[in-house]
Amino acid sequence: MKNPEESEVFAIAEDQHFNFRCAPNVPCFNACCRDLNQYLSPYDVLRLKRNLGISSAVFLEMYTLRHDGPRSGLPVVTLRPQSAPELKCPFVTSRGCGVYADRPASCRTYPVMRMAGRDRVTGNIREEYLLLHEPHCRGFETDRKLTVRDYMEEQGLLPYNAANDDFLRILGAKQHKHPGMLPEDVSDRIYTALYDSDRFIAEMVGAGSENGVGMSSYISSHISTDQDDGALLQAAYDYVIGCLDP
């Protein structure tokens, strides 16, 4: 017999409809902002630190924890929750999300889960979607119907998905070039490039034509500011792939 307290996951097509609404008048409002174990992508960090008007170093120190990815071996960051027992998001308020305009991709996409992979032959991105039903969530009981495709667009996920899809090439390069755990100095350089954008920009611009690990002046000339997310992430990802060379 199925336990009614267990979460359920269903496959769902991009053009398939589902009922969902998250709003202050839904009884579970803010419930999903607790008991957190939430990874942040490099693009998430860029958006959040800019929203808060602080440097990347201050954001990382105040709001994140650093880990080694158990499968990838790459440095990753998670959002630092507020103290036990609730472990709630540091940005949640009684009125909702305090950084709503720049909330992370995992918050935007909930209760949809997007699974993406890169085809080894064509290089194209393959997408699959899952719908997560958690016992606490009452958003499914509303009469608002929309497709997964509409939900992705409504929640502003297109730039997040594009940035995260590009990150897949780092995972492929890591597996191919440097399986297993990384030396500490390499891990530190990758962490800086992926998450500490202000320091990365300062180091690249200050390095001149070469920075000692193969980063050309062409790359450093394109990241004098972090306001161009595409250029900055492209430079960071290229840099990381260079760090992975034996």
Q: Is residue 92 one of the residues assigned to a domain?
A: yes
Q: Which residue has the higher pLDDT, 105 or 86?
A: 105
Which pLDDT score is estimated for 1? 34
pLDDT band at 212 (very low <50, low <70, confident <90, very high): very low
Which pLDDT score is estimated for 85? 82
Cβ atoms of 33 and 92 within 8 Å: the answer is yes
Which pLDDT score is estimated for 236? 92
Considering the domain architecture, whether residues 83 and 202 belong to the same structural domain is answered as: no
Considering the domain architecture, whether residues 64 and 105 belong to the same structural domain is answered as: yes
* Phi, psi (degrees; rounded to nearest 5) at 103: -60, 150
pTM: 0.89
Considering the domain architecture, whether residues 26 and 148 belong to the same structural domain is answered as: yes
Q: Is residue 1 one of the residues assigned to a domain?
A: no
What does the mean pLDDT of the chain come to?
A: 88
Which pLDDT score is estimated for 67? 96
Which pLDDT score is estimated for 141? 94
Which pLDDT score is estimated for 209? 41
Give the structural domain span for 213: 165-243
What tokens does 34 get? 């607790």
Which pLDDT score is estimated for 207? 63
Considering the domain architecture, whether residues 125 and 15 belong to the same structural domain is answered as: yes
Mean pLDDT score, 199-204 = 87
Mean pLDDT score, 205-219 = 52
Which pLDDT score is estimated for 211? 47
Considering all CA atoms of the chain, what is the largest pairwise distance in Å, rounded to the nearest integer?
A: 65
